[in-house]
Structure 1
């Protein structure tokens, strides 16, 4: 089937309608590009790392042949290339415009009482791991490694995922907001990956490809004067610019394998979220062969993941260091979430500013890039600032 014969229904729903219709077990994804809500299971996509895009293309072709309108593959994949993944062709897909058109009212979270908090590792354990990573860098084994830590929160009552997702979307409509079912055998209740990521892994529309890696960060102060100072320092920070350069160069190198031309800005810009400032490079390219399944949005996401923004340089050694230095398996944190259509178009985000929610338990991660010049206490503070996106939505911002 040629791309010219494919048609996609125009959105007939409002973004607020789809957000209100989300129920635990559905798949939700929104960004500046639009909103998608998927329900039911037509086909599960079962393939290992490196083969997901081809398996997804076959599942989409079969769904189209069976008469399924607007077939898409949706879901999430974990951080490790050989880790868990939950991809499927849903039975029903609804679309709407971007959630920026929604009302600005932010539903209040329930008061943050009755929670137990278990840091994994304890703060001292994290700074010790950063020091060990700096030794590996000093020995020449690594140029960069991203180290994460986790908070496990347990409340008195089950966490209402739809309300949590709504607060995340309203707090930052420009983010890549998502909720995906990642229930695993043995879970006592449905497990949901939910978050609001500022980082686009890759987006494809026709032959046009966009990636927007982020690396190099500073907490947002909430004071205009202080924030101007922090943005200026971040823009001129040799340490942060060096960290960012690793990530942008790797993303450009990978996309260059698929694109006939590539536009990579010489210097990053600074973008903001409600809680953080980030160095950002928007990389665009034009595909040589948009009909190749490897050039679908999912295929490109597989090729890019994990980027140095969440892993390190060189990647194989960084993966080993992360396994050695982090006491908790990341699961779906720092993985990818999104959708791909029959025509290869789609959008995948990096699953940062996210949590896995199961009944009364919320497990959230935050990471920091360790490079020459990193300070263990400063990296600990950066992870605390990154926790604020989810903690604020839970009414628990006082914990950091």
Structure 2
């Protein structure tokens, strides 16, 4: 039986498992997360943490108390350096999908990419695709959002859409992760086991990495589709870098992050101009941020919750944008647009934004993509942009177009 107390769900203990070798890493079973910083794979579940993270930035708040209690329980069970991992929803008032695994294996991503990245592994055949919302409804949503920015109460809002896929037979999540790693080798790859199915993705966006008192972030906002011709591709990247509309959208994100971080930092470095970051399908405007925390009790989760949701995934001001999203989007985002990652009991950790992602439940796959809407946004352009983003996941199924 499972018991729930103060946001903790205790899982049935599992028998001791022998140490895991690199050749036994399983990206499609427990929590799996790859990063240029640190990568990990887990097995078993000691304790689930379902407490909502609405006050996760408060060091003495209920969410941090639930995390601390889970760590204490893990140490009492003999886990010397426990790690909490999983996902937090877009709406932090909803239950978290976090847990402390019984066993964690750290590995260097470069050492296992050749083994795990499998672009040719067969997946279940796609038999149908459904857009939610359809093109006309989404474009009307964008028009309504552009109009909402006219009264100056809202400078930006992020609107998203879903692609629902039915396959001929169940999807092997490990095969899908392998294809995503092969096609997006520099992204952050993740697999989060859920009560039903799994959340998987290849996010390009680092929300927060913390090591000791130092932290890093790399927000993305403003994007353009890449071209196969190198000369045309360079021209696309330069147009993005020079785009007043995209730089304005990006500035809203960085200014918002600077405001919330400033009071919690001894030092904060934020470049005044963005740079370019590329994925196989998109160019992004990117700003690398680094700093030093003021309070040594800060942890990766407290800072991640302080930032989440950033204007890159919600809008600005946050409350106004979130209310408009709830009114316009014909679905509950759930974990889409949230954050996924890990934090150890020393406060170190890494969290990325849950984009370029989808959920798998047997033969049903749901993919997610969003776009930032500002006064100069074009409904047709935003439809195309979200389509390019969905293409990252569709390519993992062997499809190149929506």
TM-score (norm 1): 0.90
> Please, which of 257, 278, 298 is the counterpart of residue 263 of structure 2?
257
Aligned match of 1:7:
none
The answer to whether the 8 Å contact 1:84/1:332 transfers is no
307 and 229 in structure 1: CA distance in 2 versus 1, 3 angstrom threshold: same
Alpha-carbon displacement from aligned partner over 1:319-375 (angstroms, at most 9, x marks no partner): 010011110111111100000001000000000000011000110111110001111
Gaps of 5+ in 2: 1-18, 56-61
The answer to whether the 8 Å contact 1:144/1:371 transfers is yes
Aligned positions of 1:78-117 closer than 5 A = 78-99=89-110, 102-103=113-114, 106-108=118-120, 110=122, 113-117=125-129
Give the ranges of 4+ consecutive aligned residues of structure 1 lying more than 6 Å apart after TM superposition.
none
Aligned match of 1:28:
32
Paired with 2:177 and 2:309, the residues of 1 have a C-alpha distance of 25
The answer to whether the 8 Å contact 1:213/1:282 transfers is yes
Q: How many residues align?
A: 376
> Please, which of 307, 311, 316 is the counterpart of residue 308 of structure 1?
311
Relative to structure 2, which stretch is displaced further, 250-259 or 229-238? 250-259
Paired with 1:266 and 1:168, the residues of 2 have a C-alpha distance of 33
The answer to whether the 8 Å contact 2:179/2:396 transfers is yes
Aligned match of 2:272:
266
Alpha-carbon displacement from aligned partner over 1:284-317 (angstroms, at most 9, x marks no partner): 0011122x2xx11011111110000000011101
Alpha-carbon displacement from aligned partner over 1:165-198 (angstroms, at most 9, x marks no partner): 1111222232111000122xxxxxx320000000
Matched, 1:210 2:221: no
Paired with 1:322 and 1:250, the residues of 2 have a C-alpha distance of 18
Aligned match of 2:392:
389
The answer to whether the 8 Å contact 2:266/2:294 transfers is yes
The answer to whether the 8 Å contact 2:113/2:181 transfers is no
Aligned positions of 1:1-400 closer than 5 A = 17=23, 20-24=25-29, 26-49=30-53, 50=55, 51-99=62-110, 102-103=113-114, 106-108=118-120, 110=122, 113-183=125-195, 190-290=196-296, 292=297, 295-398=298-401, 400=402
Alignment root-mean-square deviation, CA: 1.8
Gaps of 5+ in 1: 1-11, 184-189
Alpha-carbon displacement from aligned partner over 1:142-161 (angstroms, at most 9, x marks no partner): 11000001110001110110
